[in-house]
C-alpha cells in the first residue's frame, strides 16, 4: 500500500511536469523567460526529490525529500498564480494545473502525516 501511494504521487508529478513544459512553451517571449524557468525548476524538483527520497534506506531521508517536494508544490502554486495574473495562463489552464498541484500536495501531505514516510 505504501509503495503504491508513493508510485502514484511520483507518476502524477511526472505528468504535471510534462504538462508544465508543454504549456510554458507557449508563454510570450522575453517578458516571461524568468518566470518560465522558475515554474519549470519548481515543477521538476517535485518528482526529482520524491525519487531521491524513495531511493534512501532511512525513513528520515524519505521524510526530508518528500518535504522538499511539498515545498516545491507551494512554490509552483505561487508561480502559477503569477503567470495567471500576467495572463500567460488562461482560466482553464490555471485551474487544471492548480488542481493537479493541489492533488500532489495532498498526496505528499498524506505520506508525511501517516508515518509512512
Rg (C-alpha) for the chain, rounded Å, is 15
For 104, how many CA atoms within 13 A lie in the half-sphere containing its CB? 33
CA distance 84 to 78: 10
Give the pTM. 0.90
Residues 41-51: tens digit of each pLDDT: 999 999 999 99
Contact 68, 117 (CB under 8 A): no
Q: How far apart are the first and last CA of the chain?
A: 12
CA distance 106 to 9: 9
Q: Which domains does the chain have, with CATH numbers?
A: 2-113 (1.20.1440.60)
CA distance 103 to 96: 11
**Residue 2: its pLDDT value, please?**
58
Q: Which residue has the higher pLDDT, 61 or 117?
A: 61
CA distance 87 to 110: 33
Residues 60-108: tens digit of each pLDDT: 888 999 999 999 999 999 999 999 999 999 999 999 999 999 999 999 9
Q: Which residue has the higher pLDDT, 59 or 105?
A: 105
Amino acid at each position: 500500500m505504501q509503495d503504491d501511494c508513493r508510485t502514484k504521487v511520483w507518476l502524477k508529478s511526472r505528468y504535471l511536469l510534462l504538462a508544465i513544459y508543454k504549456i510554458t512553451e507557449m508563454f510570450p517571449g522575453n517578458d516571461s523567460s524568468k518566470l518560465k524557468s522558475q515554474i519549470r525548476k519548481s515543477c521538476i524538483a517535485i518528482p526529482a526529490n520524491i525519487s531521491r527520497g524513495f531511493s534512501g534506506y532511512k525513513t528520515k531521508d524519505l521524510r526530508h525529500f518528500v518535504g522538499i517536494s511539498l515545498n516545491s508544490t507551494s512554490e509552483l502554486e505561487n508561480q502559477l498564480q503569477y503567470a495567471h495574473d500576467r495572463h500567460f495562463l488562461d482560466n482553464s489552464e490555471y485551474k487544471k494545473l492548480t488542481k493537479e498541484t493541489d492533488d500532489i500536495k495532498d498526496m505528499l501531505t498524506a505520506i508525511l502525516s501517516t508515518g509512512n514516510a
